[in-house]
Amino acid sequence: MRDRYKMYQIFMMLLKFDFFFFLGFSVQYLALMIVVWWPDAATEEAHSTLVRELIAHIILSCTVTVLMLIVAYWGLRRERKIHMYLFIFLSMAMCVDMVLILVSVPVSIICLRNFNHGLMNHISHATSAHSMTPIGQEKPNTQRWSIE
């Protein structure tokens, strides 16, 4: 019984840490979105739309985070398996999201290092050639790119 109580206490401590870090992550993500999106909004209407979207994001992310932790707390206190399964599922979804973010960072660094090495010419040429040609009248591409 002592080990079970110890695990209960450890899980309660982890819920407190989760609350802090989930909300901290949400706030940092929102700050990043403001920095990235704010310069793109040129008009006053675009700024107000951006602010409304960010406020909706703040409310939704904080609500989901708090509800997820409450579900875990209730599931633990009342020994409800469905609550714990729901918490585990939502936590796993968040872990997958974090893994994808962590994988995206090195890939974005590699793409950043590839700037000014001539790729823009190929990208802009490919998109302009395809977007200006009517469907069915495209020229066959004689050059093939291989990805090694």
Can you give the residue ranges of every domain in the chain? 2-125
DSSP count for the chain of H helices, then E strands:
4, 0
For residues 89 and 32, is the Cβ–Cβ distance under 8 A? Answer: no
Most confident listed range (23-37, 87-101, 119-133): 87-101
Share of the chain above pLDDT 70, in %: 78
Binning pLDDT at 50, 70 and 90, where does residue 77 land? confident
Long-range contacts of 39-47 (CB under 8 A, 24+ apart): none
> Measured on CA atoms in the order 31, 35, 40, 43, is the torsion positive or negative?
positive
* pLDDT of 1: 59
Count the Cβ atoms, other than its own, within 10 Å of residue 139.
7
**Least confident among 57-61, 126-130, 133-137:** 126-130
Share of the chain above pLDDT 90, in %: 0
Which amino acid does the sequence have at 82? I
Q: What is the pTM of this model?
A: 0.51
Q: What is the pLDDT of residues 81-124, one digit of tens each?
A: 898 898 888 888 878 777 877 887 788 788 777 778 776 666 66
> Measured on CA atoms in the order 109, 111, 115, 117, is the torsion positive or negative?
positive
Higher pLDDT, 91 or 148: 91
Enter the tokens of residue 28.
Answer: 């940092």
* pLDDT of 139: 63
- In the block, which residue shows the tokens 């190929």? 122
- Whole-angstrom Cα distance, residue 95 to residue 90? 9
* pLDDT of 18: 76
